[in-house]
Structure 1
Amino acid sequence: MAHQLRDMHGAARAVAYLMLAAAPYNLVTGVLMKLGDPLPELMALGVTSMAMLVVGLACLRRPATLPRLFWLLMPFAAAGVVTGLNVVTEDATMGPQLFYLWPLLYAAMFLNRTIIALTLVQISAGHALTAFQYQDSAQALLDWIAITVAMTMTAVVVAGLRERNDRLRRVLESQATSDSLTGVANRRAFDAELGRAVGAAGPDDPLALVMIDVDHFKTINDTWGHAVGDQALRTVADALRDAAHDREHMVARLGGDEFAVLLRAAPYTAVRFVELVRTRVRETTGLPCGPPSLSIGIAVAPDHAHTADDLQKAADAALYRAKEGGRGRSMMAHLPAVSRAA
């Protein structure tokens, strides 16, 4: 089963702060204030304090050096340490049991429901081990039920709030990177993806940038109204999405009547994609203005450019030539002068 850590930075800080606070607390209350206790017990508490200090510093200074499994096992290790300390000190009072809150909150904040449930089981069992060993049965039962119920309710509330916040964050992220009219990506998302996609492109994995303008869009708005203009833009966006559904792609509206598509495709495949888009748009019915005409420019990395800026310039130049040539047509970018000479 795959388990995912939600927030490495947050988890590292949570573990570091706990360990750096628990180490001196454990050293003072468990060792320095109980110097008359048996030596093995004091040594065990002292070693535990030093181990906490080392782990806390590692989480604070070099969290990336710790294996991923460390973060997944941390709530179980922490709950085990709390149980061990309670057994060693023979302390079944309610105060020390509150330390179980840390592994529980850590699991509820950073890990999935399975690990949260397993952490709850361990905490309940650990407290039972201490309570039924050092308290009379009736009191131990009451304390065990109280701790188990309180921890369970805490986990439910914290995990529920976390999941709600996750949903809200996803909505906000979607709104920040999506065009509200057409539902495709906006310029911000396109600009962020363009550099990454061009960097990953190569001779065996080319990237096509397709720039699209809706011809005479101002005339559509002026003649038929903005509602029809919006409908025309949604029609183009839907055609772009539908035509690219079978390959890795991003469709974006850059503003106004201008769209762009990032497509994992060689030049010939990009041309076929463009013709499929035109077919989808021509088949559209119900637009008072009729199917909109499109001018399209195509550039492919690494054939026409090796950087994001150069690829966009090449596609824009091809789009400009399509407009100059009478609109309603597609143009492929020119090969760089060096490539033509070769």
Structure 2
Amino acid sequence: MPFRIRDQHGAARAVAYLMLAAAVYNLVASVLMKLGEPLVELVASGVAALGFLTIGVICLRRPRALPRLFWPAVPLLSTLTITGLNYATRDTTLGPQLFYLWPLLYSASFLGRWLTVATVALISAGHGAVAFSYMADTGHALADWFAITVAMAMTAFVVAGLRERNSRLLEVLEAQASSDSLTGVANRRAFDRELARTVRAAAGGGDPVALITVDVDHFKSINDGWGHATGDRALRAVADALSDVPSPGERLVARLGGDEFAVLLRAGPDEALRYAERARARVGAVTDLPCGPPKLSIGIAVLPDHARTAEELQRVADAALYQAKERGRGQSAVAVTAA
């Protein structure tokens, strides 16, 4: 069954604390408080406590050493263990049933919907086996089993709902933290992160990476002559053009600050230049700005053609941008191929 761990660090800590607590509990309740019981039982309990301790330490110190299937198996194995202990002790009181809350909360917090449903079903079946086996009154057993099943299902529903809500809030916060509030494209933080990732991928033999740097020509004059509201509309028009123009490969459009934009594009020099010229033409066709369509100066550099590192790629793209400005602005310039 496919699964995804939500917050593996938190899941590892949860399992570690459970195992360490189980080791202490087992040592005290099954060994120290029962010194006089048959030696075989004491040794078995001591070995179990040692096993719990070992797993807890591994989860705490080296969680990645455990197999991937360990994490979704934890609540199912825990449920079976609790059921086995309750069955062996013939204990149908409420206290031992509360131990079922741990695998339930673990599943609802860190695993997906279907594994949570499976955990609830296994808890229901396990408690039912104990209740119907050792409760003298069948009606009482049925009522007890139904109450535990409903309580566990409702708890899982509430916890899973809260988890989903928190996940959506985190996604919104992450999107806000990585996007420019004015234009909706990525901000510098997101750009720097994606630039480093993309360059690493290209260095491993992937497609070439083009860095396209864009400046709005005489943007200060737009703000001074037509007001900041018009300047903001001009920036949004540029961002929309860079985002809407078809690209030959994956791209990330970012506003780095002020009137400076950048585009990361999976393309070679010729394809990047065609993209840049289409974007300039799209901006030039804007008709709803009182200041007229803004003009763009664009610099283009490609890894590995013009640079080898992210820092060098940025430096060479900026040099190409300045070259476009020196030629008279309103045009694109491609960096010189590295020797």
Q: Work out whether the TM-score is over 0.5.
A: yes
Cα RMSD after superposing both structures: 1.7
Paired with 2:247 and 2:317, the residues of 1 have a C-alpha distance of 22
Which residue number corresponds to residue 62 of structure 2? 62
Paired with 2:304 and 2:196, the residues of 1 have a C-alpha distance of 13
Q: Deviating runs (4+, > 6 A) in structure 1?
A: none
Letter in 2 for 1:208: A
Deviations 1:28-66 (A, max 9, x none): 213432345566655554443332222112111211111
Paired with 1:40 and 1:100, the residues of 2 have a C-alpha distance of 28
Deviations 1:296-319 (A, max 9, x none): 000011111111111101000110
Paired with 1:131 and 1:30, the residues of 2 have a C-alpha distance of 23
Residue 279 of structure 1: how far off its partner (Å): 2.1
Which residue number corresponds to residue 194 of structure 2? 193
Counterpart check, 1:157 vs 2:158: yes
- Runs of at least 5 residues in structure 1 that lack an aligned partner in the other structure: none
* Aligned partners of 1:105 and 1:158 also within 8 Å: yes
* Aligned partners of 1:319 and 1:330 also within 8 Å: yes
- Runs of at least 5 residues in structure 2 that lack an aligned partner in the other structure: none
* Aligned partners of 1:228 and 1:289 also within 8 Å: yes
Which residue number corresponds to residue 180 of structure 2? 179
Q: How does 1:111-260 map to 2 (within 5 A)?
A: 111-136=111-136, 137-202=138-203, 205-244=207-246, 247-260=249-262
SS at match of 2:69: helix
Paired with 2:30 and 2:287, the residues of 1 have a C-alpha distance of 79
SS at match of 1:2: coil
Letter in 2 for 1:24: V
Paired with 1:20 and 1:53, the residues of 2 have a C-alpha distance of 5
Residue 184 of structure 1: how far off its partner (Å): 0.4
SS at match of 1:335: coil
Deviations 1:266-293 (A, max 9, x none): 1111011111112221222312222210
TM-score, length-scaled by structure 1: 0.94
Worse-superposed segment, 49-58 or 93-102: 49-58
* Aligned partners of 2:230 and 2:291 also within 8 Å: yes
Paired with 1:143 and 1:66, the residues of 2 have a C-alpha distance of 37
Paired with 2:35 and 2:199, the residues of 1 have a C-alpha distance of 66
Paired with 1:161 and 1:44, the residues of 2 have a C-alpha distance of 40
* Aligned partners of 2:280 and 2:296 also within 8 Å: yes
> Structure 1 residues 148 and 37 mapped into 2: Cα distance closer, same or farther (>3 Å)?
farther
Residue 84 of structure 1: how far off its partner (Å): 0.7
Paired with 1:280 and 1:325, the residues of 2 have a C-alpha distance of 21
Paired with 2:230 and 2:224, the residues of 1 have a C-alpha distance of 10
- Percent identity (aligned): 64
Paired with 1:246 and 1:77, the residues of 2 have a C-alpha distance of 50
Paired with 1:8 and 1:113, the residues of 2 have a C-alpha distance of 16
Letter in 2 for 1:155: A
* Aligned partners of 1:41 and 1:88 also within 8 Å: no
TM-score, length-scaled by structure 2: 0.95
Letter in 1 for 2:284: R
Residue 160 of structure 1: how far off its partner (Å): 1.0
SS at match of 2:215: strand
Counterpart check, 1:88 vs 2:82: no
Residue 187 of structure 1: how far off its partner (Å): 0.7
Worse-superposed segment, 136-145 or 58-67: 136-145
